[in-house]
């Protein structure tokens, strides 16, 4: 097996692991897909389409303009606000009040519902997360969004919450307004968190999937056996565990057993070299047309030879060959994987269907 083919900076992102990916459904599901929520998914604040409105409000105001009033909603009142958040958060909006796991504050003009702020609450840590902030387009830029967030913070504080955080996509339409509101309300300066990537067949035009780079990878993995993960024998599972126990070689969050539930059988693969399973790419089908690349990993020595590129190509090939046409692949790249994030930004982004960065902010209550 050859080594050193990836000494150039261009593809170093694949050197270690393509880290596990938990896809923030909301961002992608907004207009294109109606994706059912799954457990263990970091939430991404919903960004609704943004339409310009008036700008004649007092910028220093954090209270509602005359005529508007805000109040914490009970489940009966909440249903009138269901259209102001996304389907996956409706359960939180309509949750019984005594569940204490979500808090919704609505703004009315007379009896007309106009704006909604929704947060989930972790009852163990008393930390809250802003899920949704929405104001009807014709009432924007009058201070409602800001006053609503302040009302939500007060409500959460009353209920014993100690902090409120949120994550949103910087490319989304309402991001600039949200940035401004958070700044005015004293939230921490937004920090970039992860890259959000969607790919279709265009990704196959990326140079690293072509000669001379890919030829070298193919030669390096000439004796690799790719197999469907659903067919992994028990012996291989035991061997993975035994080697992990003897000398950990898999980052804790990339252990395959963590991600096996409901995997997509045709596009989830393992790679066996010299009789040992040394890598995998596990995927999940989020909707008929969306495959999430949930967890990918290959042992470090093989990663150095471009093994992850080889795995990705295998999965993309299976996706286009065995699944109905037009599926997209989605994944995220935490920015702590700096080389990889750099690679995605510089080398992959031109071939992606969409590319965005999530940002996060928080404040103590």
Ligand X SMILES: CC(C)(COP(=O)(O)OP(=O)(O)OC[C@H]1O[C@@H](n2cnc3c(N)ncnc32)[C@H](O)[C@@H]1OP(=O)(O)O)[C@@H](O)C(=O)NCCC(=O)NCCS
Residue 329 contacts ligand X per CB under 6 A = no
Residue 46 contacts ligand X per CB under 6 A = yes
* Euclidean distance between CA atoms 271 and 224, whole angstroms: 6
Nearer Cβ to ligand X (177/335): 177
- The distance of closest approach from Cβ of residue 198 to ligand X in the complex, given in angstroms and rounded to an integer, is 20
Residues recorded for the chain: 365
Residue 134 contacts ligand X per CB under 6 A = yes
What are the backbone angles phi and psi of residue 85, rounded to the nearest 5°? -140, 180
Residue 326 DSSP one-character state? T
Residue 47 contacts ligand X per CB under 6 A = yes
* Euclidean distance between CA atoms 210 and 159, whole angstroms: 57
Residue 29 contacts ligand X per CB under 6 A = no
Stretch that binds ligand X, among 48-56, 234-242, 280-288, 317-325 (CB under 6 A): 48-56
- The distance of closest approach from Cβ of residue 332 to ligand X in the complex, given in angstroms and rounded to an integer, is 19
Q: Judge contact between 166 and 129, C-beta under 8 A.
A: yes
- The distance of closest approach from Cβ of residue 296 to ligand X in the complex, given in angstroms and rounded to an integer, is 30
| Minimal CB distance residue for ligand X | 174
* Euclidean distance between CA atoms 361 and 150, whole angstroms: 15
- The distance of closest approach from Cβ of residue 180 to ligand X in the complex, given in angstroms and rounded to an integer, is 4
Residue 270 contacts ligand X per CB under 6 A = no
Residue 182 contacts ligand X per CB under 6 A = no
Q: Which of 24, 113, 174, 306 binds ligand X (CB under 6 A)?
A: 174
Strands 328-334 vs 290-298: parallel, antiparallel or unpaired: parallel
* Euclidean distance between CA atoms 310 and 113, whole angstroms: 53
Stretch that binds ligand X, among 33-41, 119-127, 130-138, 294-302 (CB under 6 A): 130-138
- The distance of closest approach from Cβ of residue 137 to ligand X in the complex, given in angstroms and rounded to an integer, is 7
Distances in whole angstroms, Cα of residue 109 to Cα of each of 114, 137, 150: 7, 14, 18
Q: Judge contact between 306 and 6, C-beta under 8 A.
A: yes
Strands across the sheet containing 102-109: 68-72, 102-109, 112-122, 127-135, 163-169, 354-364, 191-199, 328-334, 290-298, 276-287, 269-273, 225-228
* Euclidean distance between CA atoms 130 and 118, whole angstroms: 6
Residue 57 contacts ligand X per CB under 6 A = yes
Q: Which of 141, 237, 353, 363 binds ligand X (CB under 6 A)?
A: 141
Residues in contact with ligand X, total (CB under 6 A)? 26
Nearer Cβ to ligand X (168/343): 168
Q: Judge contact between 71 and 105, C-beta under 8 A.
A: yes
Stretch that binds ligand X, among 36-44, 46-54, 92-100, 315-323 (CB under 6 A): 46-54
Stretch that binds ligand X, among 44-52, 91-99, 251-259, 336-344 (CB under 6 A): 44-52
67 Cβ contact list (under 8 Å, min separation 6): 109, 110
Nearer Cβ to ligand X (140/305): 140
User: Which residues sit at the interface with ligand X, rule CB under 6 A?
Assistant: 45-48, 50, 55, 57, 59, 132-135, 140-146, 168, 174, 176-178, 180-181
């Amino acid at each position: 097996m050859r080594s050193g083919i990836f000494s150039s900076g261009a593809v170093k992102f694949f050197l270690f692991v393509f880290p596990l990916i938990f896809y923030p459904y909301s961002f992608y599901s907004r207009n294109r897909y109606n994706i059912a929520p799954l457990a263990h998914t970091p939430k991404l604040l919903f960004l609704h389409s943004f339409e310009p409105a008036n700008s004649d409000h007092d910028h220093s105001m954090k209270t509602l303009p005359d005529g508007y009033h805000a109040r914490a909603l009970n489940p009966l009142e909440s249903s009138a606000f269901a259209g102001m958040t996304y389907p996956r958060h409706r359960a939180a909006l309509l949750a019984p009040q005594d569940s204490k796991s979500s808090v919704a504050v609505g703004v009315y003009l007379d009896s007309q519902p106009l704006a909604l702020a929704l947060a989930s609450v972790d009852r163990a840590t008393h930390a809250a997360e802003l899920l949704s902030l929405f104001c009807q387009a014709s009432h924007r830029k009058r201070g409602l969004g800001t006053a609503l967030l302040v009302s939500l913070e007060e409500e959460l504080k009353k209920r014993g919450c100690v902090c409120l955080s949120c994550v949103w996509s910087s490319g989304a339409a309402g991001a600039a307004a949200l940035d401004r509101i958070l700044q005015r309300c004293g939230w921490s300066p937004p920090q970039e968190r992860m890259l959000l990537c969607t790919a279709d067949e265009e990704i196959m035009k990326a140079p690293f999937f072509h000669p001379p780079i890919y030829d070298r990878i193919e030669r390096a993995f000439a004796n690799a056996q790719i197999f469907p993960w659903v067919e992994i024998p028990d012996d291989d599972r035991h061997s993975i565990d035994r080697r992990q126990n003897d000398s950990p070689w898999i980052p804790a969050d990339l252990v395959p057993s963590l991600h096996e539930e409901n995997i997509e059988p045709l596009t989830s693969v393992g790679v066996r070299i010299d009789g040992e399973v040394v890598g995998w790419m596990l995927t999940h089908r989020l909707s008929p047309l969306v495959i999430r690349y949930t967890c990918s990993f290959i042992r470090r020595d093989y990663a150095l030879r471009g093994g992850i590129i080889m795995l990705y190509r295998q999965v993309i090939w299976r996706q286009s060959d065995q699944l109905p046409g037009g599926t997209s692949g989605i994944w995220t790249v935490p920015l702590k994987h700096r080389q990889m994030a750099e690679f995605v930004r510089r080398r992959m982004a031109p071939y992606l269907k969409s590319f965005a960065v999530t940002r996060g902010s928080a404040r103590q209550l």
